[in-house]
Amino acid sequence: MSAGPADFEQALAETAAAVDATLDALLPRADGVEGRVAEAMRYATLNGGKRLRPFLVVAGAQLFEVSEPSARRTAAAVEMIHCYSLVHDDLPAMDDDDVRRGRPSCHVAFDEATAILAGDALLTYAFEALSAPETHASAAVRCELVRGLAVAAGCGGMVGGQMIDLLAAESTLDIDGVTRLQKLKTGALIAFACEAGAILGEAGAEARAALAGYGHDLGLAFQIADDLLDIEGSEAETGKAVGKDAAAGKATFVGLLGVDGARDRARVLVDRAVGRLARFGDKADSLRAVARFAIARRH
């Protein structure tokens, strides 16, 4: 039996609360002259995000009976990377957005230099937290996590995707180009979040590949939903400015496929993502629910 949407929303909220507590405990507290950067790190992180990536880590870890503290620390590290990317993405030099998660962006609440440093510190702190013995007893597992997260966040992943995105206003990307951009920019981190539970659980290569494949499909479906929200959603729903893609002249899935075509593509991706979970049986029901949520969401 699969969980309904209400069960899923509750599970998402419960995981968000648990991971928020881990983030709160892990993140440095404002202290001394340099305390301002710690304050900005906390501002950028403890602010009511959906915690979708942490949910994926925790749900993946449950497939392999990974301990909750291990799963939560890994989830918190992934969320720190996500939050750093949002802080830098909102800067005037990048997307220049004043609102994030319904509040002033980090550089508006603090200042640009502090926001840059807070992003840098979140990026490095994620690896500090992940590599600590409390994350997993095996150093080999911790090393594999660090490597996987670095690959997903770096030049061949999120940073590379962001570079393509920043150049996209001056180029004309076709559907393959947009797919590649999004695979790198959002998909790589989402895929790592899905695969992390298998790394923590020292699962076999096939299970790992199934989860990574699920994550890649989910990531693309999630991005298509984001594109749809950019034209159909409101700032009140999404907590950030909308209509920016079209204004910037950026090629998007919706621009290339039309609203109906994009929605169809997202449905196909979600079906394929769910298909990859067959080997895990009922235990993967919460991952099935995330896939459905990814395209039904309004925020």
- Footprint on this chain of ligand FPP (rule: CB under 6 A): 49-50, 52, 85-86, 88-89, 101, 158-159, 162, 185-186, 226
* Helix 68-89 vs helix 139-153: crossing angle, to nearest 10: 20
- Taking contact as CB under 5 A, which single stretch among the options 90-98, 151-159, 194-202, 288-296 is the one that binds Mg ion? 90-98
Quote the least distance from Cβ 173 to Mg ion, whole Å.
17
Quote the least distance from Cβ 132 to Mg ion, whole Å.
31
> Is the dihedral angle over the CA atoms 111, 117, 123, 128 positive or is it negative?
negative
Quote the least distance from Cβ 97 to Mg ion, whole Å.
6
Quote the least distance from Cβ 244 to ligand FPP, whole Å.
12
Q: Tell me: does residue 95 bind Mg ion (CB under 5 A).
A: yes
Q: Tell me: does residue 89 bind Mg ion (CB under 5 A).
A: yes
Minimum CB distance to ligand FPP smaller for 183 or for 185:
185
- Residue 104 sits at φ, ψ, to 5 deg, of -55, 140
Q: How many angstroms separate the CA atoms of 235 and 244, rounded?
A: 11
* Residue 245 interacting entry, from Mg ion, ligand FPP, none, C-beta within 5 to 8 Å by type: none
Decide if 162 contacts 171 (C-beta within 8 A).
Answer: no
Minimum CB distance to ligand FPP smaller for 70 or for 85:
85
Q: Which residue type is seen at 214?
A: Y
Q: What residue number has its CB nearest to Mg ion?
A: 95
Minimum CB distance to ligand FPP smaller for 84 or for 280:
84
- Residue 173 sits at φ, ψ, to 5 deg, of -90, 140
Q: In the numeric block, which tokens belong to residue 293? A: 């949520």
* Residue 230 interacting entry, from ligand FPP, Mg ion, none, C-beta within 5 to 8 Å by type: none
* Residue 185 interacting entry, from Mg ion, ligand FPP, none, C-beta within 5 to 8 Å by type: ligand FPP
* Residue 85 interacting entry, from Mg ion, ligand FPP, none, C-beta within 5 to 8 Å by type: ligand FPP
Minimum CB distance to Mg ion smaller for 95 or for 195:
95
Neighbour count for residue 29 (Cβ, 10 Å): 10
- Taking contact as CB under 5 A, which single stretch among the options 28-36, 91-99, 113-121, 128-136 is the one that binds Mg ion? 91-99
Q: How many angstroms separate the CA atoms of 51 and 95, rounded?
A: 22
- Residue 165 sits at φ, ψ, to 5 deg, of -65, -45
Quote the least distance from Cβ 70 to ligand FPP, whole Å.
22
Q: Tell me: does residue 165 bind Mg ion (CB under 5 A).
A: no
Beta carbons within 8 Å of 163's beta carbon, 6+ residues apart:
none
Q: Nearest CA to 190 among 235, 165, 231, 153?
A: 153
Apex CA 52: angle with CA 20 and CA 141, to 5°?
80
Quote the least distance from Cβ 205 to ligand FPP, whole Å.
28
Q: Tell me: does residue 230 bind Mg ion (CB under 5 A).
A: no
Q: Nearest CA to 262 among 202, 297, 220?
A: 220
Quote the least distance from Cβ 84 to ligand FPP, whole Å.
8
Minimum CB distance to Mg ion smaller for 73 or for 240:
240
Which position has the token pair 């309904």?
Answer: 4
Q: Which residue type is seen at 204?
A: G
Quote the least distance from Cβ 266 to ligand FPP, whole Å.
14
Apex CA 13: angle with CA 9 and CA 14, to 5°?
120
* Residues making contact with Mg ion (CB under 5 A): 89, 95
